[in-house]
Structure 1
Amino acid sequence: MNAENTFEAHRSRLFGLSYRLLGSRSDAEDVVQDTWLRWQQADRTGIRDPEAWLVTAATRLGIDRLRAARTQREHYTGPWLPPPSEIDESPSPEQSAEVAEQVSLAFLAVLERLGPEERAAFLLKEAFDYDYAQIAPLLGQSEANCRQMVHRARERVQAGRPRFDVPRENHRRLLERFMQAARRGDQPAITALLREDAQLVSDGGGKAVAVIRPLLGAIRIARLFWAAYRRQDPAIDWRMGTVNGEPAILRYRDGVLAAVMVAVSDGERISDIFTIANPDKLGTGVTAKDGGASW
C-alpha cells in the first residue's frame, strides 16, 4: 500500500480523534492536513505500525494546537464553547440515523474542562480503546501517570454528563416544551422544566448578547428568559432543529441564524443549557442587535 492509500485508510480515525481533542472541525481538518504533510516527509521504511505513527503525530499536533488555543481563549469575552460542526433545521431520516456517529456539543463542552494531555489520554482510552501501554509513549508519560490522568478525566466528564440514558424523542419533546415556555416568557413553566441546580453557559464572544459568566440555578435562569421576553424582538423566530446531530433550539433574526441552544437532561428536567450566539461560530457573519435575545 502506497503512502497516500495508507494515510487515507486512517484519515477518518485521525479526524475523529482530532475533532474530539480540539472541539473544532476546521482545527481538526488542519491537524489532519499537517499529519499528512509529516507522513509524506517521513522515512517510512522504518515505520512498522503506520496507524500508531499517524495517531501519535495527530495527537501531538492536536495537543500543541489546543495549548495555543487555550492561551488565546484567555482573552475571549465570556465563556468559550466549541463551534457547531453541523446545524440542521430539518434533518432527513438518513441524517437522523447517523446521530450516533456525531459528537454532541454538550459532550465537547464537558471535554473543555480537561487539560490538553488529560483530554488526549481520556479520548485515546475511552473513545478509541487504546491501552495504557500504547498511550504512555504517545504522550511521553509513564503508564501510572496516564492512569491517573484518565481517572481524573473520567470523574470530571461523568460529573458533567447526563446521569440517565435518555431516548432521543423524550429529550426532544422536553426541549420543545422548554422552547415554548421561553418563547412566551412563562417563568413558572421554565422553572419547572429545569433542575434546581441547572446551569446556563452562553458564548457570545463579545459579538452578541450573552451572559458573560455561567448562570446557576433554575430560578435565575427562568428570570433571564422572562426578562428577555419582556424585551422581545419581533424579528426573532424560534425553531426546533439539530446541532451536531442532537435536538436543539435554533433562533433566527430576520431569517438569519442568531443563536443555537442545546441541553443536557434526564428526560424530565434540564440540567445544563449551552447557547452559542457568536456569529463567527454560526457562519452568519452577523452581529446580534443589542435588543435581541441571542444568548
Structure 2
Amino acid sequence: MDRSHLYHEYKLLLFTIAYRMLGSIKDAEDIVQDVFVQLEKIDVSSIDDPKAYLVKMTTNKSLNHLQSSSEKRETYPGTWLPEPIVPGDVNEPLDNLLKEESIRYTFVVLLHKLTELERCIYILRDVLVYDYKSISTMLNRSETSLRKVYSRAKQKLQQNKQLSKATREEASQLASLFLHAVKSGDFDRFINHLSKDVVLISDGGGEVLSAIYPILNRNRVAAFLQGIHKRGALQGQFSIVRVNGDIGILQRQQGMPTKLIAFDYSKTGVQNIYVVMNPKKLKEIGHKFSL
C-alpha cells in the first residue's frame, strides 16, 4: 500500500482522532499533515499494520502538542470550549464522520473534562475499539496501568453523561424558539424547555466580553439571556447551522461570526448551553477542509 493510498484511506480518521484530542480544527489538520510528512521518511512496506501505525503517530503527536501547550490552557481566561466544526460545503466523507456519536460537539466537550492521557486512552479503547495490548504498544505503557486510567476516564464520563440526544425535530424546534426569542425579546417559551439545573457556558477567550464563570440554573440563565438581549448583544443575523453534525445557532454581525450556540439535552430539558465567542475559534466557520 503506497503513501497516497494511505493518505486518502485514513486522513479523515486521523483528523477526528486529533480533533477529539485537541479540540482545534487547524491543530488537528496540522497533526495529520505532519504525520504524513514524517511517513515520507519511512519505508511503508515494512509496516505490518499501517492503520495502527498511523493512529499511534497521531495520538502521540497530539499528546506532545497538548503537553507543550498545557500552560496556555491553564491560564486561559474563563472556561475553555472546543472549536466547533461547521463545514462550509458538502463533504460526504466528512459528513459521515460528523454523524458519529463520538464527534458530536457536546461529547467532545465531555472528553475535555478528562486529563490528556485519560482522553487519549478512552478514544483508543472506547471509540476506536483497540484492545489493551495494542494500546500498550502504541503508548508504551503497561496494560495494567491502561486499564486503571480507562476505568477512571469512563467513571468521570458516566458522572457527567446523564444526557440524551434530542431528535432532529426537537433540536429544530428549540433552535426556532431561540430565534423567535431573539427577534421578539420574549424568552419564556425557550426558557420553558430548559432543565431547572441548566448550565450556560461561554468562551470568549479573553478576546471579547463573556461570562467568565458558568451560569447555573434556569432563573439565572433566563436573566442572563434577557440581560444581554437588552444590551444589544443579540443583534445581528441568526441562522440555524450544523455543528459537529448536530443543530446549532450561528450569530453574525456585519457578516462576521460572533457567537456559535450549541445545546446539550437531558430527559428534563436542555442541560447545557455552550456559547463559543472567541473569534479565534469562530474564524474556521465555513472552513473548507484541506484534508
Q: Which of the five TM-score ranges fits, normalised by the shorter chain?
A: 0.7 to 0.9
Name the residue aligned to 1:154. Answer: 154
RMSD of Structure 2 on Structure 1 (CA): 2.8
Aligned to 1:292: none
Shift of the 241–54 alpha-carbon distance from structure 1 to 2, 3 Å rule, reads: closer
1:167 touches 1:267 (CA, 8 Å); kept in 2? Answer: no
1:139 aligned onto 2:139: yes
Bigger mean CA deviation after superposition, 33-42 or 129-138? 33-42
Are residue 66 (structure 1) and residue 66 (structure 2) matched?
Answer: yes
Going from structure 1 to structure 2, the CA distance change for 1:152 and 1:231 (only over 3 Å counts) comes to: same
Structure 1 unaligned spans of 5+: 286-295
Q: Could you tell me how far 1:267 is from its partner in structure 2? A: 6.6
In the TM superposition, what is the alpha-carbon distance from 1:146 to its structure 2 partner? 1.4
Paired position in structure 2 for 1:114: 114
Q: In the TM superposition, what is the alpha-carbon distance from 1:122 to its structure 2 partner?
A: 0.4
Cα displacement (A) at 1:237: 2.9
Distance apart, 1:64 and its partner CA: 0.8
SS in 1 for 2:40: helix
1:96-245 mapped onto 2 (5 Å cutoff): 98=96, 99-101=98-100, 103-161=103-161, 163-181=163-181, 183-186=183-186, 188-232=188-232, 235-245=235-245
TM score, norm. by length of structure 2: 0.86
Paired residues in the alignment total 283
Per-residue CA deviation, residues 228-282 of structure 1 (Å, 9 max, x unaligned), is 1222258423332222221112112233221110001137611001111111211
Q: 2:87 and 2:250 mapped to 1: Cα distance?
A: 9
Alpha-carbon spacing, 1:40–1:255, altered in 2? closer, same or farther (3 Å): closer
Residue deviations 1:79-107 (CA, integer Å, cap 9, x gap) = 1111122256xx87x79974515822222
Higher alpha-carbon deviation: 160-169 or 215-224: 160-169
* Partner SS state of residue 41, structure 1: coil
Does the CA-based 8 Å contact 2:165-2:265 persist in structure 1?
Answer: no
Q: 2:250 matched to 1:250?
A: yes
Q: Distance in 1 between matches of 2:12 and 2:258?
A: 31
Instruction: Quote how far apart the aligned CAs of 1:147 are.
Output: 1.7
1:119 CA displacement = 0.5
CA contact (8 A) 2:82 2:108 kept: yes
Instruction: Identify if the C-alpha distance between structure 1 residues 172 and 234 changes in structure 2 by more than 3 Å, giving closer, same or farther.
Output: closer
Is the 1:183–1:238 contact (alpha carbons within 8 Å) kept by the matching residues of 2?
Answer: no
CA distance in 2, matches of 1:179, 1:268: 21
| Secondary structure at the counterpart of residue 15 of structure 2 | helix
**Residue type of the partner of 1:164?**
S
CA drift at 1:65: 0.7
Q: Is the 8 A contact 1:256 1:284 kept in 2?
A: no
